[in-house]
Structure 1
Amino acid sequence: MDINKIGEYIQTLRKKKGITQAQLGDRLNISYQAVSKWERGEALPDTLLLLDLAIILETTVDNILNGGERLMNFNKKISTKDIKLGIDNLSNIGNLIGKDNTIYSGMVEGINSRMNIDLEDCFSDPYKKEALVVEIIVQNLINGDYVDISDAQSYLQYDHWKNMVSKYANKYGIK
């Protein structure tokens, strides 16, 4: 918890709403000096005031206490190894049940039309096959999952895809 960031965040929201320190103090039944101390990073709001402060500033208590920074709560940890295994198994279904099987052809048609790709071409080209793995990783990151960068780096072969995973992981707060 960074007291200066909290103060800056309160000040930013207060100014955005066009409220003076005195007006915010009045609404919270405290002095403008107390608000000034928060904004200068000299003190924190009393816990009894946090909910009212959040309502006035149209934010959440979590946002206030995190200085406006997004709190990263990942849904689950994803494994690059497991995703790669899944793509390998998916590519092997045609060999197991026959490429003329309705289930296989329906799966391929569905993925091709949904993703605008040629799935069988991706299965036969290691670079494109790895692109599928990365696509799954990126979609999971967007959906709030966590990926260990070093895990991804160890299972991905191509620098381009390694960089792509790192870029998206960094974007979502994973270093």
Structure 2
Amino acid sequence: MEKKTIGTMISLLRKEKGMTQQTLAEKMNVTDKAVSKWERDLSFPDVNTIPKLAEILGVSIDELMHAKVEDKKSINKNKIIEVVDVVLKAIGIAMGIAVTVLSILGELEIKSAFIMLGIGLATISISMLKK
């Protein structure tokens, strides 16, 4: 079975009980905004209120806490990987354009052209390796 986030679990269990966010909030002595944030995984219930929340939702503390907590670091890591991929491709394209423009202007030595094209090919190759 796919693990759900704590917020998803709270929302699912609340709806199974036929409760609104307002109703759950009143039973927990919090605002409906707090319940909304829990369900969207923007915040979490206070650790001292977990037993009461589990009781209201009709599950054990273990069942409620068995949910998966989203790992913000892995989300950020994926964004970093995407940015690095774009940068590597951009370097390759920039080197190709630079060689073309400099050779048209007659300002490029052969040795420098090979180095620049090599850098461009290497960065594009690195970008393609991880796919």
Structure number with greater CO (CA < 8 Å, separation at least 6) is: 2
TM-score (norm 1): 0.36
